[in-house]
Structure 1
Amino acid sequence: MRSLRVLCQIAESGSFTAAAAQLGHTQSAVFRQAAALERSTGATLFERRPGGVRLTQSELTLLSHARTILASVDAAGRDLSGEAHRAELVPLGMILSAGPLLLPAALARLATTAPWVRVTTREGTTPGLARALRTG
């Protein structure tokens, strides 16, 4: 699980150093976890570049599965400890041009950080969405 959490943090942070700071680990520990994950999968997951890393297609594929696995493990832990969250519905309005670009990453992140939240979407123009917001 630790390797999957490190993988997710590297993807979100964009560098081993930033991921280490966020996780409270040393940069070398994060680098070792990433290298071990690459060895175990047999795939290059990160393109190392000055100033950070670029995600490969293999990493994006594994990242999707890692987020799902971690969300399930976290939910199981909450269920076992009696801390299960009540599902909450959150309506989200978006303009047509931004939705396909921003929504998938935002929903993936939400699934790992708040899996009890369910999002419904509504597409529209800015004035239309502002009216809908004002009217509840």
Structure 2
Amino acid sequence: SVKDQTLDQQCTVTRPGVAAIASALLVELLVSILQHPLGAAAPAPTSRSDDQGDHPLGLVPHQVRGFLATFENIPVTGRSYKHCSACSDNITRAYKEGGWNFVLRALNEPGYVEELSGLKEVHATAEASLADVEWDEDSDSAEEI
């Protein structure tokens, strides 16, 4: 059983081909970004149509979600999150100011990125809200709800 392993470890055990698929998609995305006139500022596709826009390598999705059960990949367009641990203003500012020192600190200091991005406060707020919820554990049927 792999229940006690992290999700990425479970996938490696149960779907060993996923790493190759993911890395191939990453290479294609990287090449598309590098060749796009706007580089990393390339806009996300507005639809899943076959329209390639003005880019010879096709769409440059910001995210790709894969579903092995249906052998399907779909581009996902999402909005940025102000507490994102990868691209929030605080994280990008710290990286621009600190460079490799920021990366080393992020890798070596547990909780640093969560604190800097604001995720630590988000988690604390969620935990506090959860503590305020009154659970009715005596109910035996859904009819009472």
Structure whose residues are more often strand by fraction: 1
Q: TM-score with structure 1 length normalisation?
A: 0.23
Between Structure 1 and Structure 2, whose CA radius of gyration is higher? 2
The structure, 1 or 2, with the larger RCO (C-alpha pairs under 8 Å, 6+ apart) is 1
Q: TM-score with structure 2 length normalisation?
A: 0.22
